[in-house]
Structure 1
């Protein structure tokens, strides 16, 4: 087997950090966690101008600092071969268009296919030295765009600004909503006696969902939604609260729809700041063709 590839990042030191140690630079400018610093110190490598150094050694204006990250542990995920629709990939991030019916991460028994298992198989095939870091998960029966960090450092940067990752959804709700737009502001808690189901509750965590009607088609209302918070099953719970459950969402009051695997909910747009280049990125995805029946 060929030698695993390495994850490497480089910085050019400015006068503002002259005299600062590599460790302090990485904590302050690099936004490293102390845990990541420790992993680099123990199992990775740090170079300044091509020469290996210790993290305590000072930096000078114009130096080039290079960090070679250690190989990551895979954890308990079992790799599984399977198809992935990758809409964007570089050395730091992946964006996947997930079909409905596929888990984001393996369920408890580890036997069902999942995005994480498919990605890990792909990483092993490509001899990539990292584990899977999913940043934005989707429920099994929700389709659309998912953001994945390619390595632990990218994951650290993305989760530090998780509230700035903007996810937009399209959905089909049962019935005809009266208001053309609005904000659902209802706390969400775990439903009593269930480990899966959620419900609105004054004792729950704050949750806000903004919605806008795209069109009404008799029995159904097509919606665009924006998550202002990120609670489990948030859109599904909020629409049940309004009295307009998602089509196909039998867990939250909707009726089963033949040919639709679960709720009619799709993450159609993902907007985020790239963890390394810092550029804003926007990716989009078309709703599943099966939704034509709701037109």
Structure 2
């Protein structure tokens, strides 16, 4: 299902806090660092281009706070970057003022790698932001490869992005994939370092000098020609699942970059992010989302 962003998208991004007893006497600057978890870089941007209010009156960051004061930060308008906005469909499973959860189809990049005019999830979002006069750029938290489908998390502004990336290890994703061959192991851990392949700027490989990489796997359905396997990443390397499964001799179905046969009528690897779990950066609520893999997988395994 295709959704458009709600008409209530605000024309400015702001956050408000109430000063509790333990923070009375703090300067606004120290309060925002301690309670708001602001980075010094974001605080500098607010100081230069944003604004801060205490009880409705504009204030400076050095000013002291009293118990029960209301602190409001209006964040500066963000630079959009080089990606060209383009109108296109977006399947949005969840949206509020801080985050978006998108169900990405295969065959489209999240951000165009070279040609900034190429259609992408980022260009579609930028077009929506532009039409709604939303003053932010696209902040991708969890990226997917062009041919990988499924759930991805996007921050709607720099503050949300900063909070989520600080605790990126708490953002949990699971994937399902079709792998080529009759996979025999019920479950296990692949613990093999991954590095860039010497003869390619795209391809990765298992190598002793690579970065530590760990992938948990669980067999879901065994077939003669293809099997369905679930994965949970303990690290986040480029092409990690694809590289680790090719290393084991069971490349992802359709993943010709890593030695698999092409699937008739399909392009790229059969990989889908079907589960996403994260702590909401503002409400601190545990958020869980599920997405079914493509229906045509059932014809394989």
TM-score computed with the length of structure 2 as normaliser? 0.96
CA contact (8 A) 2:183 2:223 kept: no
| Separation (CA, whole Å) in 2 of partners of 1:81 and 1:172 | 32
Matched, 1:250 2:250: no
CA contact (8 A) 1:259 1:290 kept: no
Matched, 1:278 2:284: yes
Q: Secondary structure at the match of 2:94?
A: strand
CA contact (8 A) 2:181 2:223 kept: no
| Separation (CA, whole Å) in 2 of partners of 1:59 and 1:226 | 45
Q: Which residue of 1 aligns with 2:28?
A: 22
CA contact (8 A) 2:98 2:156 kept: yes
| Separation (CA, whole Å) in 2 of partners of 1:183 and 1:242 | 11
Aligned ranges 1:67-86 → 2 under 5 Å: 67-86=73-92
Select the residue among 6, 11, 14 that pairs with 1:5.
Answer: 11
| RMSD of aligned Cα (Å) | 1.1
Select the residue among 228, 241, 252 that pairs with 1:235.
Answer: 241
Give unmatched runs, 5+ long, in structure 2.
Answer: 1-9
Select the residue among 169, 172, 186 that pairs with 1:166.
Answer: 172
| Separation (CA, whole Å) in 2 of partners of 1:59 and 1:283 | 39
| Separation (CA, whole Å) in 2 of partners of 1:214 and 1:92 | 35
CA contact (8 A) 2:179 2:251 kept: yes
Select the residue among 107, 110, 118 that pairs with 1:104.
Answer: 110
CA contact (8 A) 2:184 2:222 kept: no
Moved over 4 A (4+): none
CA contact (8 A) 2:83 2:117 kept: no
| Separation (CA, whole Å) in 2 of partners of 1:26 and 1:253 | 51
Matched, 1:33 2:35: no
Mean Cα deviation higher: 106-115 or 73-82: 106-115
CA contact (8 A) 2:245 2:251 kept: yes
| Separation (CA, whole Å) in 1 of partners of 2:133 and 2:223 | 50
Q: Secondary structure at the match of 1:158?
A: helix
Q: Which residue of 2 aligns with 1:294?
A: 300
Number of residue equivalences: 293
Select the residue among 190, 197, 205 that pairs with 1:184.
Answer: 190
